[in-house]
Amino acid sequence: MNPVDQELPLAVVRAVAQRRDAKVIETSVSPIVTGNLGVATASVERVTGLVRSGAGEQRFSLIRKAFQPVRSGRHTESAGDPRHWAYWRREPLAYASGVLINPLGAGLVAPYCYDIIDDVVYLADVAGPPEQTDVAARRLGAWQVSAPIPEAPWLAGDQLSQRIAVTDLDWSTVDAPAELQAIWARRHDLLQVLDAVPIALCHGDFHPGNLIDTGTDTTTVLDWQTLGTGPVGGDLAHLALATLTDPFPSYLEGLQGKVDAEAAHLGYSVALALTATSRLHWMQVNGVPVPPTYTDFVLKTARLPL
C-alpha cells in the first residue's frame, strides 16, 4: 500500500468511517471487473486501505464504480435517451433518488451507497457466495409484486424490445438448430404477445453473478444499471438461462397469486426464447462453446403460443 491523501473524496472517507474527522492514511486500488464491462461502465474497482480518526485507525474496503457514455456499437445512437436500457447515468441517478435505499423489500437489498460524486458511485464491498437459484427466484417474484414503479424519467423501458429493434441476425453464418431460428423469425409477433403480460419493475440483468447470499433473510443484488420496467417473468429468464434450470415454480410462489400464473409464464417464456436465440447466435459467431443441453432446455422450458 502507498500513502495517498486524495485517493478518495473526503465525503466518502467520512461516510466509511462514520466520523467527520476521518482521514485516509493509505489506499490500494485493484480492478475487480475486466474485459466485459457493461456498455456504460468505465471501471469497477475495489479500494482498500486505512482511515484514522479520533476513534483510532480502521481498515476499510469499498467498491468504486464509474460510468461513461456509450460511444460505440449498435446502441450508441439511442443510449443518450434516459429511457433506453443503456443510458449511462441510470445507476448513479437510481442511488441518488433513494429508489435503492434498503431494504428494497421481499429479501432483496442493494449494496449500501456511501456517496455519489459526479458519475461515480462508492458502494459497500459485499462478500458472499452466489444466492441459491430458487431463493433468488422466489424473492424476485415477491419484490416485483410489492415494489411500486417510481415516476423517474431515467427508468429504462422494455430492454428486450429495445435490443431486438436494432438486432438483425444472419443465421447463414452459424450452424444453429432450425427450431431456434424459427423462434427468431417470429420475434416481432412474440413481442406483441407480451402486451397481455403485466408490467413490473425489473432489474434487467438478474443472474447469479449479480446475486449474493448475504444471510438467511437477504439477497444482495449488484449492478442496477439496467433498472427499468418490463413484462413479469422477463428478469427470471436471465436467471434461467444462466443456470439452465427452470426456477419458475419458485418465482410463482413469490408472486403470491397477485399475477395470473399463465400471464407470468408467458412473459417468462417469450423473454427466455428470444434472449436464448440471440445469445446462441452470439456464442456461435464468437466461438463460445454452447452448453450441450442449451437447445433442449430452451425448447422444453419456453411454452410459446402457436
Q: Please tell me the predicted confidence (pLDDT) of residue 1.
A: 41
Q: Say yes or no: 44 and 163 in one domain.
A: no
* Other beta carbons within 10 Å of 6: 9
Q: Are 33 and 150 found together in one domain? A: no
Same domain for 198 and 283, yes or no, is yes
Write out pLDDT tens, residues 6-16: 478 999 999 99
Torsions phi, psi of 177, nearest 5? -55, 140
CATH at residue 292: 3.90.1200
Rounded Cα distance, 6 and 66, in Å: 17
142 closest CA partner among 236, 207, 68, 47: 236
- Same-domain status, 174 and 37: no
pLDDT confidence of residue 298: 98
Interval 80-117: pLDDT, tens: 899 999 999 999 999 999 999 876 778 999 999 999 99
- Considering the domain boundaries, does residue 188 fall inside one? yes
User: Domain of 41?
Assistant: 10-67
> Under a CB-based contact definition with an 8 Å cutoff, are residues 122 and 64 in contact?
yes
Looking at the fold, whether 59 and 95 belong to one and the same domain comes out as: no
Regarding whether 197 and 258 lie in a shared domain, the answer is yes
Q: Which parts of the chain fold into alpha helices (H)?
A: 10-17, 90-97, 133-144, 159-165, 178-185, 187-193, 234-243, 248-255, 261-285, 294-301
In a domain, 85, yes or no: no
Within this chain, do residues 179 and 279 fall inside the same structural domain, yes or no? Answer: yes
Number of domains in the chain: 2
Evaluate whether residue 34 is within a structural domain: yes
Same domain, 153 and 278: yes
Q: Taking 70 as the threshold, does the pLDDT of residue 71 lie above it?
A: yes
Work out the percent of the chain whose per-residue pLDDT is above 90: 87
Shared domain for 192 and 290, answered yes or no, is: yes
For 145-168, write each residue's pLDDT tens digit. Answer: 999 999 999 999 999 999 999 999
228/110 same-domain check: yes
Q: Specify whether 164 is located in the same domain as 285.
A: yes
pLDDT score at 157: 94
pTM (predicted TM-score): 0.93
